[in-house]
Homo-oligomer: A and B are copies of this chain.
Amino acid sequence: MITAIPGKLNSCHDCKDISCAAAVLKISELELVNMNSLENEVKKGDIILHEGSMTSHIIYLKTGLVKEFIRQPNGREQILQIVKQHTYLGLPSLFSDRINHYSYAALENSHICYIDINVFNRLIRQNGEFAQQILISVCKDSLNNFNRFIKQSHKKIYGRVADAILYFSGIVFENDRFDLPFSQREFADLIGLSRESTTRVLIKFKNEGIISIKGKSITINNPDLLEQISLKG
């Protein structure tokens, strides 16, 4: 039996944002316990969801890091975004045709929860606060993603690589120094460029002192200049 929980939303301890999925989850967490939702550990490289498959459960990324991607007709992978913990995977699909449009693979060992679709839907209908928070979460996510994509689309390779570095630094890892969680091949897939072009730009940035590269580790030395390059297009 599901009972609507009075509309008290807490903010997520990590990001202090009441629209963060972690905060949203607080309502459903009670339900999850009741419903015996499955919790699972996935290893780095594991595929969590396949594009084209039916949505049978909602998947909540409790801890870890995941890439969202599709396969382009030419066979190449297109990475759409890096998904951080406290996020539902592919929520929009649930509310459209219930087919997963994207694939998800773990970039690190991660913890995920499977939540029953019907529980979720009942919660939404019975609890307006919950519905509103999910709406906010979905809208923010899709807007951010779409905007990032649109802005990239007309930029030259320098601007695009700069964007990608700033994306990892700012949005994914929130740190000027970070380890690329995959190869340059995949980095190129995220940006939508050839591997060679991507490498060349990275080396150019390195030679100009804007960034430092040691193995998979990237350090931004001059964020302002990177921003400038990104803006210039």
By a beta-carbon cutoff of 8 Å, the part of chain A in contact with chain B is 7, 70, 72-74, 76, 78, 80, 91-97, 101, 121, 124-129, 131-132, 134-136, 138-140, 142-147, 149-151, 153-154, 192, 231-233
Known: A92-B143, A93-B139, A95-B138. 16 other contacts (CB 8 A): A70-B150, A72-B154, A72-B233, A91-B139, A92-B139, A92-B142, A95-B132, A95-B135, A124-B128, A125-B132, A131-B131, A135-B138, A142-B146, A145-B146, A146-B149, A149-B149
- B125–A233 CB distance below 8 A: no
Q: A233 is contacted by which of B7, B74, B95, B192 (Cβ under 8 Å)?
A: B74
Q: In terms of DSSP, what is the predominant structure of the interface of chain A?
A: helix
- A73–B139 CB distance below 8 A: no
**Chain B residues within 8 Å of A145, by CB:** 146
Q: With contacts A127-B128, A132-B121 known, is A150 near B147, CB below 8 A?
A: no
- B139–A95 CB distance below 8 A: yes
